[in-house]
Structure 1
Amino acid sequence: MPLCCLVFNETAMRADFCTTCTTKRQHLTTDAKSAMAIPQTCLRRWHWVITLATFTLYFLVLGPMFNFSILYLSLQGEFKSAAAITGWLGSLSAALARLFSPVTVLLEQRLSKRAVTLIGLVLYCTGLLTTSFVPALGYAFITYGVLSGVGANLTLHSSLQLLLEWFAKGNFARASAIALLGSTGGLLAFSPLLTVLITNYGWRNALRVLSGGIFVVGIADGLLLTDPPTTEDIFPRQNRSEDTEQNEHDMQNVRKRERERERADESCKQENEGKERTELLDDAIVSSHEGSNTKPDWCEVWRMMQSLELWLWSVANFLTFLGWTFFDINFASYMDGLNLHSNQISYVIMGFAGGEIGGKLLIALLGGRLPFKYLYVVVSSCLLAAVPLGLMTIVKTFAAIMPIAVASGFLRSGAYGVLYAAGAELFLEKYGPSTVMVLTLVPPGFGILVSAPLSGSLFDVTGSYFASLLVIAAIFVCASAAFLFIPVRRKIRSGGSCYSSASRDQQHELQYPEGQCNQVTM
């Protein structure tokens, strides 16, 4: 065979081989992209799975807690305790469900939020179970008050903060409203369930049944919680496929670039050695100054303590939850004083929950379409809440109290449904999600802690809830004023006042630079 034919055949074989390899690479690239299509689609929609999982956790944990007023009657009947002491048990548990948030933040730095959520769920169910065996009411302050309260905080704080991280770029108001519907749904569902269980089996067996059911469903639900993915987590394989295609286009220039890189490496070697020596010197200088700047976080804490807006936000939240906790702790006792039987009390609580669900659904549907800040929704709910409280001082029948309960539940949705969104709208950009969660959870915890002793003490002294209702109505008016002062202050400061050019925090930074901050905080 002629030599030219051999050369031609060899060239043709190489061309066919290259074509085959290129085709295979293209098929592999297409397969890689197809393989990533399903995970990407799931990850895009997984944030709604997180929303439903958080909804379920709020349903399971806050459902029994918000129906403590039903358990309140059984505990007071068996242990013959005063109204203030019995009510404080529920207040302690609900308060720790918020006050434990700073410790939860520290725990989340070592464990994942899913792990913290599951640990909290175990503690919560353990508290319910051990409460069913207490021989005296004092022991319940440890089992129900502390154990269940701490467990509730670990579960609720971690799951809601995870939800905030998934929706950090937007739509958090709608997601949080859907998730917080779980607490109202739990109030609606557990009210008749707890009434039936207590009536037929007693309050001790009722707590045992609830602890087992909540544990099984809650653990399965908590396993769905995951951290939000980063870009590198979503597209690693796709990026590798794109790199393969790019390498095919640049294959002819690889050897040339390698030769140029070798020559450049030799010229840069000496420069890199000089940079390394400079970095070592800089590290030594930084190490020598570490002793004078060992507490940088206290600077931020000091600035936050000097922020009038944070104090207004905290006081307003304290007063808001001090008032609304009456419906969780003392509402059933109030209706018992009107001589309503247990079924009627259960129906009224369900009506209250139905009104709150309606309000939260409205918030979820509107989402980010409100033409004003979410804070104004909270202000309106607190201000208008004084009206049904005033009416509750004069009504005496089941037919009259039912519409008042529905209206009160609808108004409470304005505070409970958008409070986290309002806090994120005001402070998220400046302080971050962890600080927003603490600011929105801890002050209400103190309000919840004080609510039951205040209402119970007034009841023990006067023999009725008349004085308590008037005091709570006045508290709601003060809370709405404190909330409203935040946007008013911002508008004044941005409208040409002497503080319009720089905020108070910025002026503090100018007055006390970072190097002097620690001296100020000492």
Structure 2
Amino acid sequence: MAFVNENSNGGFFKKHWSILVLIAVFCNFLCLSGVLFNYNLLYIEIMHSFNSTSTQAGIPGAISFTFFSFTSPIVTVLYQILGHRITVVLGVSLCCAGLLSSSFVQHVAVLCITYGFMFGVGFNACNLTCTDMILRVFDKRNATRATCTALCAISVGFLMSPGIEWLYETYSWRVAFRILSVILACVGYSSALVMVDVTPKKKKSREKETEQSSRQQTVSIAKYCFLLRRRGYSFGLLAFILTAITITFTFISMGNFLLENGMEISSISFIIFMMGVGDLVGRIVAAIFSDRLPISRIYQHALSSLLTALPTVCLPFIGSHTGQTVVFIVMSLPRSLLIVLMPSIAMELATDNTTSESMAVSYLAFGIGAFTTPYLTDLIYEITGSYDIPWFICTGLYVLAAGFMLLADRARKQNLMTDARQYNLVHKDTIEYKDTQIKTNQIDNRTLTAI
């Protein structure tokens, strides 16, 4: 950038470059999540605009959530080759093009490509690239805090629901998409300008060969195969898939559930807003207290799944709008922990040299679960005419996810014990070998002395 002089000793922008990056990432996440995580409102608009079924209206959102995480391995390689700035520009361009083209489609199936694929992939490109950029510009002491702060923007995106609902009501969802694409372009391209690691040139030249060699070693099929052979990690992936189904259901079909129960659009928007508040509180609590709790993050995930299952099973039995509002707000608190803890659990179940691959495969598993949501929940609603069975299914999936997490933690402990035994055997053999060598040397020295 023009105002950054890498040869100078400092300057205001260079000294506070990490803060500038964090602000840019926060604004980027806020705009993107405001569009995607308020899909409940768009779901209703699509049903009315195209006269589609609930399954047809839910598929574009499910595809968008799928590719929001499914393409993580590809995006990881992309920003390592092209750089962070170019990758963010590509992601923002894909999101804007997806929104703009979606505003002109005349069939709901086309939305699966424009809104589902294009916006989902673009969001993922911005999300992973910006997160990695934060880890690069902040030191280890502040990296976790900065990452949690940036991810809080996704929760704040829920708070945009009244504004999104006002745009839909005032201008229609088509015109709203065109307005949102312009806003996203202004914010997204501006944030891409600061996606560069401002470090001295000498340091860059010294680390150039190391960085290039690390890029060449990034993609390794053997590492992915090694991960999938670990029982603990496989159990964790199953838990992520089940969790993704239930979470995506609340992101997509909750609005139609409330609409079928006679609730107005403005009230639905208010509930989404309050769920955003609960999600934000849950993320802040996780950022502050997760590392300080006496139980592992895997147990925290299992406990959060059970706590989310409790209000979920109550929804079919609650008829009042006030009671449903309270249940959804209570549900959003532990549900937010399920998303926040996923990266930490992925690294905890992997080994030190497979953390990047573990993150990529975990997000891929989450995308698989998100893709199956409309076919498992909305299709049942079309057959039965009620959301009671889908809510019961979600409750069972939460409980199963908790069980798989407990199995994952048990397998992880067994792996640690096996590694410890192997280390002790190797360490013991090394000591015995050294003792033998010392004794042999002593005998040789005595023999030479006698001669």
TM class, shorter-length: 0.7 to 0.9
- Tell me the distance in 2 between the aligned counterparts of 1:374 and 1:164: 21
**Residues 382-401 of structure 1: matches in 2 within 5 Å?**
382-401=305-324
CA contact (8 A) 2:14 2:198 kept: no
CA contact (8 A) 1:132 1:208 kept: yes
What are the Cα deviations for residues 149-199 of structure 1, in whole angstroms up to 9, with x where unaligned?
12111111211233334457355443332121111111111x111111111
**Shift of the alpha carbon at 1:448?**
0.7
**Shift of the alpha carbon at 1:416?**
1.8
- Tell me the distance in 1 between the aligned counterparts of 2:202 and 2:56: 54
CA contact (8 A) 2:233 2:349 kept: no
TM-score, normalising length from structure 1?
Answer: 0.72
Determine which of 154, 177, 184 is the counterpart of 1:214.
184
Determine which of 107, 119, 124 is the counterpart of 1:153.
124
- Tell me the distance in 1 between the aligned counterparts of 2:271 and 2:172: 21
Q: Quick check: 1:333 aligned with 2:256?
A: yes
CA contact (8 A) 1:53 1:224 kept: yes
Q: Quick check: 1:478 aligned with 2:400?
A: yes
Determine which of 54, 59, 67 is the counterpart of 2:38.
67
Q: Quick check: 1:450 aligned with 2:421?
A: no
Residue equivalent to 2:29: 58
CA contact (8 A) 2:22 2:150 kept: yes
| RMSD after superposition | 2.7
Residue equivalent to 2:111: 140
CA contact (8 A) 2:233 2:346 kept: no
**Shift of the alpha carbon at 1:359?**
1.1
Determine which of 263, 270, 295 is the counterpart of 1:347.
270
User: Which residue identity does 1:169 align to in structure 2?
Assistant: K
Q: Quick check: 1:174 aligned with 2:136?
A: no
CA contact (8 A) 1:393 1:469 kept: yes
What are the Cα deviations for residues 115-146 of structure 1, in whole angstroms up to 9, with x where unaligned?
10111111101100110101111221221111
TM-score, normalising length from structure 2?
Answer: 0.83
**Shift of the alpha carbon at 1:421?**
2.9
**Shift of the alpha carbon at 1:78?**
1.7
What are the Cα deviations for residues 47-73 of structure 1, in whole angstroms up to 9, with x where unaligned?
444333332222111221111110111
Q: Quick check: 1:311 aligned with 2:284?
A: no
- Tell me the distance in 1 between the aligned counterparts of 2:19 and 2:369: 32
CA contact (8 A) 1:165 1:228 kept: no
User: Which residue identity does 1:458 align to in structure 2?
Assistant: I
- Tell me the distance in 2 between the aligned counterparts of 1:128 and 1:302: 37
- Tell me the distance in 1 between the aligned counterparts of 2:60 and 2:308: 25
What are the Cα deviations for residues 33-53 of structure 1, in whole angstroms up to 9, with x where unaligned?
x963657x955x544443333
Residue equivalent to 2:134: 163
**Shift of the alpha carbon at 1:414?**
0.7
* Structure 1 unmatched ranges of 5 or more: 1-33, 237-295, 507-522
- Tell me the distance in 2 between the aligned counterparts of 1:87 and 1:146: 14
CA contact (8 A) 2:349 2:412 kept: no
User: Which residue identity does 1:467 align to in structure 2?
Assistant: I
- Tell me the distance in 1 between the aligned counterparts of 2:205 and 2:368: 45
CA contact (8 A) 1:102 1:438 kept: yes
Secondary structure of residue in 2 paired with 1:109: helix
- Tell me the distance in 1 between the aligned counterparts of 2:348 and 2:17: 24
What are the Cα deviations for residues 239-284 of structure 1, in whole angstroms up to 9, with x where unaligned?
xxxxxxxxxxxxxxxxxxxxxxxxxxxxxxxxxxxxxxxxxxxxxx
Determine which of 36, 44, 52 is the counterpart of 2:9.
36
CA contact (8 A) 1:84 1:453 kept: yes
- Tell me the distance in 2 between the aligned counterparts of 1:478 and 1:412: 15
- Tell me the distance in 1 between the aligned counterparts of 2:416 and 2:286: 29
Q: Flag the structure with larger Rg.
A: 1
User: Which residue identity does 1:325 align to in structure 2?
Assistant: T
Determine which of 225, 228, 231 is the counterpart of 2:195.
225
Paired residue total:
406
**Cα separation, partners in 2 of 1:453 and 1:459, compared to 1, 3 Å:** same
* Structure 2 unmatched ranges of 5 or more: 1-6, 207-218, 427-451
**Cα separation, partners in 2 of 1:300 and 1:494, compared to 1, 3 Å:** closer
CA contact (8 A) 2:37 2:251 kept: yes
